[in-house]
Amino acid sequence: MSYQISSTANDKFMFNLKAENNQVILTSQVYEQKQSALAGITSVQVNGADSGNFEHKVSTAGEPYFVLKAQNGEVIGKSQMYSSEAAAQTGIASVQANAASTEIATVE
């Protein structure tokens, strides 16, 4: 379980939270600066354990997914698309279990 910060094609930054099996379980928005991405990670660490901060959604294709919100209602990150609501719920549980990780890697 770790956070991985990477730069985007347009020299901005984003992060992924990965589970122990190395699967991405949460993807951040794109940030202008690396420091802002680090602040986003801190927000996941603070807000990720509380099930009340997750919002269940359904894509236009009918696939369930979720977003993690901060206390101010801002979206911190979102999940992949899942095949079922039960699978999305398992994803939420994984974020809750892994959010407190302090392992942060920068991917070039």
Q: Residue 24 — φ and ψ, nearest 5°?
A: -70, 125
Q: Give the pLDDT confidence score for residue 82 in this predicted structure.
A: 96
Mean pLDDT of all residues in 14-41? 95
Q: Give the pLDDT confidence score for residue 95 in this predicted structure.
A: 97
With CA atoms as reference, report the closest residue to 96 among 56, 46, 36: 46
∠ Cα 23 27 7 (to 5°): 105
* pLDDT exceeds cutoff 80 at 46: yes
**What tokens were used for 57?**
């959604």
Going from the C-alpha of 30 to that of each of 13, 14, 54, the distances in angstroms are 6, 5, 19
* pLDDT exceeds cutoff 90 at 90: yes
Q: In whole angstroms, what is the distance from residue 75 CA to residue 17 CA?
A: 15
Mean pLDDT of all residues in 66-87? 95
Q: Give the pLDDT confidence score for residue 96 in this predicted structure.
A: 96
Q: Give the pLDDT confidence score for residue 34 in this predicted structure.
A: 95
Domains of the chain: 2-107 (2.30.29.80)
Mean pLDDT of all residues in 79-93? 96
Beta strands 104-107 and 2-7 are parallel
* pLDDT exceeds cutoff 80 at 1: no
- Torsion angle of C-alpha atoms 96, 34, 15, 48, degrees rounded to 10: 10
Average pLDDT, the chain: 95
Q: Give the pLDDT confidence score for residue 107 in this predicted structure.
A: 86
Mean pLDDT of all residues in 66-81? 95
pTM of the complete model: 0.92
